[in-house]
C-alpha cells in the first residue's frame, strides 16, 4: 500500500484535542514531527490498558493541589518517551528507589522500544535526560509498534 505523506503539524489532528485546545499553545508550536527510535516505560504485558494513555486520561489523576504551569498541564496530555534505552533505564531505576512501591503499578516495570514516525504526531525537543513528549495524532497506534525489550524492576 502506498504510504501517505506526513502531514505538517498544523494539519495534524491530535487525540487529546478536545482537552488541549483549552490550553494556550498546546501542543507547543516548537514541537515537530520526527522519525526516531524511542523507549517508553511499560508493563510486562504491553497490552495493559494504561500503557499508551496520557497521564491526564488515566483515572484517578495523580496531581497535587495548587495547579501547575500550562506547559506541564499540556505535557500531561502527551506520552513520555526516551531517546535511548540507557536514558529510560536510568530514570526508571531512580524512580524505583524514590517512590512508594505501589508506584510501579502506575509507571510500569519494563522498557519497550519502537520507532515513531512523522505521522504519529509531534515531539518536544529532547531534554538533557533524554526525555521527550509525543502528542499523538489521531492515527497513531504506538501499541502496535512497541515491543518490550528490557525488565528494570
Q: Which residues bind another protein (CB under 8 A)?
A: 41, 54-55, 59-70, 72-73, 76, 80, 91, 94-103, 105-107, 129
Q: How far is residue 33's CA from residue 129's CA, in Å, rounded to a whole number? A: 20
Q: How far is the CB of 107 from another protein (least distance, A)?
A: 6
Nearest 10 degrees: CA dihedral of 41, 112, 79, 129?
70
63 or 86, CB closer to another protein?
A: 63
Cβ distance to another protein smaller for residue 7 or 104: 104
Longest Cα–Cα distance of the chain, Å, equals 50
Residue whose C-alpha cell is 504491553: 46
Smallest gap from residue 64 Cβ to another protein (A): 4
CB nearer to another protein: pick between 10 and 98: 98
Contacts of 58 (CB under 8 A, 6+ apart): 50
Amino acid at each position: 500500500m502506498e504510504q501517505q505523506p506526513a502531514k505538517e503539524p498544523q494539519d495534524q489532528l491530535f487525540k487529546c484535542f478536545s482537552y488541549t485546545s483549552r490550553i494556550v499553545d498546546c501542543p507547543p508550536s516548537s514541537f515537530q514531527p520526527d522519525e526516531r527510535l524511542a523507549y517508553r516505560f511499560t508493563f510486562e504485558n504491553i497490552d495493559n490498558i494504561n500503557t499508551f494513555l496520557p497521564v491526564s486520561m488515566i483515572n484517578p489523576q495523580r496531581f497535587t493541589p495548587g495547579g501547575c504551569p500550562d506547559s506541564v498541564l499540556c505535557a500531561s496530555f502527551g506520552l513520555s518517551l526516551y531517546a535511548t534505552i540507557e536514558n529510560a533505564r536510568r530514570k526508571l531505576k531512580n524512580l524505583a528507589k524514590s517512590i512508594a512501591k505501589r508506584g510501579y503499578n502506575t509507571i510500569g516495570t519494563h522498557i519497550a522500544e519502537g520507532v515513531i514516525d512523522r505521522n504519529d504526531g509531534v515531539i518536544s525537543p529532547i531534554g538533557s535526560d533524554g526525555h521527550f513528549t509525543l502528542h499523538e495524532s489521531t492515527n497513531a497506534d504506538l501499541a502496535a509498534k512497541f515491543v518490550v525489550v528490557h525488565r528494570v524492576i
